[in-house]
Structure 1
Amino acid sequence: MSEISLTLSEAIKRTGISRSSFYRLFCERKLTPRKSGKRVLILADELDAFVRSLPTASHHQSTGEGSR
């Protein structure tokens, strides 16, 4: 069984998105933070859908080539 939600730290490790970027995404209402006591949780399905909705990187972007 996969997890229903992730802590913010788990989401950072899973995606590579920074903590400050997550808070920006919350402010922009692109992701919805959930609270359980002091913990910030993100629904795994919502996070997966967000990451899948991101544009694909071209070969030059993903390898750093062509950035000179």
Structure 2
Amino acid sequence: MAPPPLAVLHTEGAPVLDLLTVPQVMARLQLGRSAVYDLLRSGQLASITLGRARRIPTHALTDFIRTRLEQDAS
């Protein structure tokens, strides 16, 4: 079976959905592993599970940071 056409995978103008690993999020937030998993567990940071792997969409990380900045500004 042939793979789907590229237009199905990525349309012009649509953002590419980048997924980050927990260690990548740890590095970006400068937090430990437990702190990141606490954020995931509490629902403050959205993620998806692929098999046993946890992945965090970059937009979820951006939304989390934006929300925290807004909370701190209030």
Normalising by the smaller structure, the TM-score range is 0.5 to 0.7
Aligned residues: 56
Q: TM-score scaled to structure 2, two decimals? A: 0.60
RMSD: 2.1
Q: 1:49 matched to which residue of 2?
A: 63
Unaligned runs of 5+ in 2: 1-14
Matched, 1:17 2:34: no
Q: Which runs of 5+ in 1 are unaligned?
A: 57-68
Identity of aligned residues (%): 23
TM-score scaled by length of structure 1: 0.64
Higher relative contact order (CA 8 A, sep 6+): 1
Structure with bigger helix share is: 2
Larger radius of gyration: 2
